[in-house]
Structure 1
Amino acid sequence: MSISTILFDLDGTLLEMQTEPFVQQYLKVLGSHVGDAYDTQKMLGLIWDGTKAMIMSKDAEKTNEQVFMEYFAEHGEWNLDELWPIFDAFYRDVFPSLMEHTQPSPWAKQIVEAAKGQGFRIAVATNPVFPRDAIHHRLSWIGLNPADFELVTVYEESHFTKPNTEYFSEICSKLGVEPGDCVMVGNHMQEDMVASKLGMKTFLVTNWLEDRGEPQYAVDQKGSLEELHQAISQRSGVFAK
């Protein structure tokens, strides 16, 4: 059975970057934005723990945003009606400055255009632990926007995160496809290649490869962004007709 749909990871895949230093800088800038009116270190710790709560959640009735906000309300000491507009302003106005901590390349747009040219359905399967604005900004850094894709996973709409297989199942449900119709393209062994457990084909991008060691998952094909572009353009390997 040939593949009809390609799911692209964003950070470290389409958007070239080292994830850990980027996240550290993101938290630093967020802390500065929040300012002295709040206990910054306590708040950043709560954001980190709230992110973990999203990753651990298996509640299909709650979006990741709802899980995060409920955790924040339960464990924090701040009025969310006052705090959330500050967060919204950060993601809208300040987050774009973090582009300097990434290394956007022309490959992303070329790969997406090649996939469209070959008739593939495409989606952005980025870990939905960020608000919509933060994810859309990162797409813009590589010259893309949500309209280029059938689906972009964001925390306001997603009910699961990587590395949970339910995350990939939800994408399939929204797109109306089976796992066997899809290739998951990503740079992370544990968070992206786990899609193979559902029966998806996988392509491991090696430019900014991340691998914590365990667990290991099936990799059907791997290569650089240039090799990914070539494979899609030529309909070879996992992308063969």
Structure 2
Amino acid sequence: MKKFVCIDLDGTLLPMDNDYFIKMYLKELAAKMAPYGYDPQELIKTVWAGVYAMFENDGSQTNEELFWKLMNEHYGEARVKKDYRLFDEFYSEDFDAMKKYTDGCDPDAKVLIDGLKKSGCQIVLATSPVFPQVATYTRIRWAGLKPSDFDWITTYENVIHTKPNPLYYQDILEKFQTDGEDAIMVGNDVDEDMSAASLGMDVFLLTDHLINRHDKNIDAYPHGGFKDLMAYLEK
């Protein structure tokens, strides 16, 4: 069994249709900010621009710094500074209600993580780091898990790359002084999660909520449901 396990959250440990969740969550964020003069469609477009900027992060700043730099450029630093508390309030107080846009909790996720912990594995929650820590921790709890279940959790505050950039995975390996051949990445997104294989990491594609934007042949990767994953990890 691999002793260093990276695992995705959305659509992997937490059942959801990712596109639907993002669409509805951004709609709710826009509704929150509309009374304060933010045009909903413009805000959603700007947030997406910030996300795409994080995808292209050259490693010179954290994803958080890059995102808010773009927001400052679009809305003006003074306005963003004044209204930052409203964005923070959304994630710390309102975001928990977004659970209704997921598919609930899969008990197999907790069985998996508990089993990995008992076997002495180091576990990194390698979730796409475009959310603040508070929103990531909230989604972990939706999955029936705790932030303390993981040795590290990637969020937009603490990383300088994001999926599918292989440097995102390289940064994780370097942080834990681990070689790719000693690690595995588990996720449901063919492009974002399976890119870890380029570093020599083992991979497993969880197909319960598969994302395969380019209709790639998934037979190139070990794949299946939670039971298949558990059997694969025990090899």
Q: Shorter-chain TM-score: what band?
A: over 0.9
Query: Residues 217 and 227 (structure 1 numbering): CA distance in 2 closer, same or farther, change over 3 Å?
Result: closer
Matched with 1:190 is 191
Q: What is the CA–CA distance in structure 2 between the aligned matches of 1:73 and 1:20, rounded to whole Å?
A: 26
Any conservation in 2 of the 1:172–1:179 contact (CA below 8 Å)? yes
Any conservation in 2 of the 1:201–1:220 contact (CA below 8 Å)? no
Q: What is the CA–CA distance in structure 1 between the aligned matches of 2:70 and 2:82, rounded to whole Å?
A: 16
Query: Residues 33 and 45 (structure 1 numbering): CA distance in 2 closer, same or farther, change over 3 Å?
Result: same
Matched with 1:121 is 122
Unaligned runs of 5+ in 2: none
Matched with 2:229 is 228
The AA in structure 2 aligned to 1:99 is K
| TM-score, normalising length: structure 1 | 0.91
Write the deviation string for residues 119-155 of structure 1: whole angstroms up to 9, x where unpaired: 2111100000000011000000122122111110000
Report how many residues are paired. Answer: 232
Query: Residues 200 and 87 (structure 1 numbering): CA distance in 2 closer, same or farther, change over 3 Å?
Result: same
Q: How far has the Cα of 1:219 moved from its partner?
A: 4.4
Q: What is the CA–CA distance in structure 2 between the aligned matches of 1:225 and 1:69, rounded to whole Å?
A: 37
Matched with 1:31 is 30
Write the deviation string for residues 104-125 of structure 1: whole angstroms up to 9, x where unpaired: 2111111101111222111100
Q: What is the CA–CA distance in structure 1 between the aligned matches of 2:141 and 2:21, rounded to whole Å?
A: 17
Q: How far has the Cα of 1:55 moved from its partner?
A: 0.5
- Pair 1:178-2:182 in alignment: no
Unaligned runs of 5+ in 1: 237-241
Write the deviation string for residues 135-183 of structure 1: whole angstroms up to 9, x where unpaired: 0000001221221111100000110010101100111112221111110
Any conservation in 1 of the 2:27–2:40 contact (CA below 8 Å)? no
Matched with 1:157 is 158
Any conservation in 2 of the 1:204–1:219 contact (CA below 8 Å)? no
Any conservation in 2 of the 1:46–1:76 contact (CA below 8 Å)? no
Query: Residues 160 and 208 (structure 1 numbering): CA distance in 2 closer, same or farther, change over 3 Å?
Result: same
- Pair 1:143-2:144 in alignment: yes
Any conservation in 2 of the 1:189–1:216 contact (CA below 8 Å)? no
Once the two structures are overlaid, the 10-residue window that deviates more, 71-80 or 128-137, is: 71-80
The AA in structure 2 aligned to 1:96 is D
Q: What is the CA–CA distance in structure 2 between the aligned matches of 1:13 and 1:83, rounded to whole Å?
A: 33
- Pair 1:63-2:62 in alignment: yes
Matched with 1:11 is 10
Ranges of 4+ aligned residues in structure 1 off by more than 6 Å = 214-218
Write the deviation string for residues 63-89 of structure 1: whole angstroms up to 9, x where unpaired: 000000111111224612112111100
Q: What is the CA–CA distance in structure 2 between the aligned matches of 1:226 and 1:87, rounded to whole Å?
A: 39
Q: Which secondary structure does the structure 2 equivalent of 1:79 belong to? A: helix
Matched with 1:52 is 52
Matched with 1:202 is 203
Any conservation in 2 of the 1:202–1:218 contact (CA below 8 Å)? no
Q: How far has the Cα of 1:221 moved from its partner?
A: 1.4
